[in-house]
Structure 1
Amino acid sequence: MTATAIVLLVATALSSLVPVIVRRRLRSTLVVDAVTTAVMVGFAATAAALAADAAPARGVGVVVVACAAMIAAVGGGGYVVRLVLWAGGADTRERARDSATGDGEHVPDAESESGTEAEAGPLRGGRVIGYLERAAVAATLLAGWPEGLAVILAVKSLARYPELRAPHAGEQFIMGTFASVLWATAMAGVGFLITH
């Protein structure tokens, strides 16, 4: 059962990477985000359920679990955050494209065309900050240092403080941060269940 749990966690990590290829061919990134999130949650929940009754992973399995949990936390969190922001009514790129054309017709992302991040709301650089945040959260939890969460969130809050005065920036910050941290914590938790 431990091996199956490890395979499912690796599948969770890989399923977070596959949509990068598919996403450019589809009109609606929201569908890709929703399907990817559902698949990742299914794999991760099954891995956690199997790991609860299995013997702890040992040796190379521990390294594979740590790597897979980190990849799943960092790579998969963006899909979850975009869904939460969309559900909360934040101005996501999907909504910006739909309102720009008036009929939901596809408008190419500025990022995919020029390689730079387009302004998708009051908080710029959120994608890269999210990657770093989820990596740091998962790493501190997998290392057994939960106090690191306070340091990570304090640094992020202080760095973002000047930008939080913009309209809706506070809501976007809180929703995105909570979704990002909860996803990274969940993936680290699955890794912990498999190794302990």
Structure 2
Amino acid sequence: LLMATHVLAVVTAAWTGAAVVRVVLAVGGIPTRADNHDDDPEAPLRGGRVIGMLERTAVAASLLLAWPAGIGIILAVKSLARFSELRAPHASEQFILGTFASVLWASAIAGVSILAGL
């Protein structure tokens, strides 16, 4: 049962986090993907939804596997991969707010799953 709870937590974190990130970006006044034209090759931070889902999956899994240091590796890899794109207008704000919201959401969902297993 605990394994099923953790798997459900990872899936929930991955699939529901995009809505949370969009709300945080809107509150922060940062244009969302719908405004940035995700199909435009020149748009900043393309592929953010898929990268965000993978990020939330990895963060939740790393916490549920009792390996919180994994979050540092995830964020380092993401930052290095996106580094060249962060000079575009609004890209750095979108990156920081989006990543922070995404990681907090995945951590919260993982935390609830851990507490449910106690």
Asked if TM exceeds 0.5, the reply is yes
* Aligned match for 2:57, one of 135, 148, 154: 135
Between the aligned partners of 1:71 and 1:130, the Cα distance in structure 2 is: 13
Matched ranges for 1:6-45 at <5 A: none
Q: Give the unaligned 5+ runs of structure 1.
A: 1-60, 98-109, 111-116
> What is the CA distance between 1:121 and its match in structure 2?
4.5
* Aligned match for 1:80, one of 15, 20, 23: 20
* Aligned match for 1:149, one of 71, 74, 89: 71
For the pair shown, the structure with the greater C-alpha radius of gyration is 1
Q: TM-score, normalised by structure 1?
A: 0.56
Question: How many residue pairs were aligned?
Answer: 117
For residue 92 of structure 2, what is the aligned residue in structure 1? 170
Bigger RCO of structures 1 and 2 (CA < 8 A, at least 6 apart): 2
AA at the equivalent of 1:86: A
Change (3 A) 1:144 1:71: same
State, as a whole percentage, how many aligned pairs show the same letter.
Answer: 57
Q: TM-score, normalised by structure 2?
A: 0.92
Between the aligned partners of 2:45 and 2:83, the Cα distance in structure 1 is: 11
> What is the CA distance between 1:139 and its match in structure 2?
0.4
Are residue 89 (structure 1) and residue 10 (structure 2) matched? Answer: no
Q: Give the unaligned 5+ runs of structure 2.
A: none
- Give the aligned CA root-mean-square deviation in angstroms: 1.8
